[in-house]
Structure 1
Amino acid sequence: MAQIGQRRRLKVSEIVVGAIATDARSFAEAGRRCIGEIKHGAIPGPMGPGIVCMSFAIELWFKALGCLSDPQGDVPTGHDLLLLFNGLSQEIQDALIARCGQPRAYFLSVLQQDAKTFEVWRYAYEQQALQDSSDRLIGMFVHRLLIDTLPVACDQVYEDFKAS
């Protein structure tokens, strides 16, 4: 029996994987609307909420792709992007990296550095970088790969593999 506050692990067979993909698309779109186009000299939109939405979208994509990787297994859990990525089949990992057009080592380095972006940015005010800043501006960094390229690549790879 699960304790109060603990969720039961869901089996992939108990859910509609496409619903995860739909949510991932929605959060990616919300993130794009917040951040806007990043152009030299342009004033960006609300970056914090945009980064939270984009990183959550990637988390959902990795969970949807994890379900495709192991249709008989449990639905992946957690927020750590590197752990979720490492749970994907080698074939799906390779397809994602190829779609992003970056060397595997760079891709994995970005995921390692930004693995907990959702957790860090959703409570950005708790971060030491913000507390130490006299002007209260967020002095944190997120790779463009995470907020720009990867959500689109995940969508494309999901479409490629869902019919398989």
Structure 2
Amino acid sequence: MSGMSRSATAPVPVSARAAAFGALLTVVLTGCVAKTPEIPRAPATASTSTTPSVDYPIALQRFGGVAGFSDTVNIDVDRSVLAKVGRQNVSCTLDEASFAAVTKAAVAVGDSGNDSTPTMAHPDDMLVLLNAVPTSDDRIKDVEPVVTALFEDLIKPKAKRTVCR
């Protein structure tokens, strides 16, 4: 009988060890499976910090000045422009260089313009805004000539435009 009890008890530790090993293997595999999605996610978040994340359309506004400007331009992700310049509604496609500069500026200001209310120091001042942030802001002052060129381009007949056709 003692031989029988040995053979009866011997499979129990083996199956218990197998079960423990199986559980350990499951934990290890589950751990690997759980971590695997993080590997692709990490570069994605790293690249989003360098890839522009902009809420389109980007809004440009120009108002004030001696001429009493009240112009609005909306630039969408596909570079399409819908503008109201003077009394004219204009639609065109912005050139890639200007689009890149405006997008870069929009990334720089993020949504900070939502909290600000820009004011003019003098009644005849002209205010040009990109997503409600003045283009004279240090973060985006490089885009000011691009925006100025776009507004000037939009008042021209379509055949004479160079920035937005």
TM-score by length of 2: 0.27
- Asked which structure has the greater CA Rg, the reply is 2
Ranked by relative contact order (alpha carbons within 8 Å, sequence separation 6 or more), the top structure is: 1
Which one has a larger percent strand, Structure 1 or Structure 2?
Answer: 2
Taking structure 1 as the reference length, what is the TM-score of the superposition? 0.27
Structure having the higher helix fraction is 1
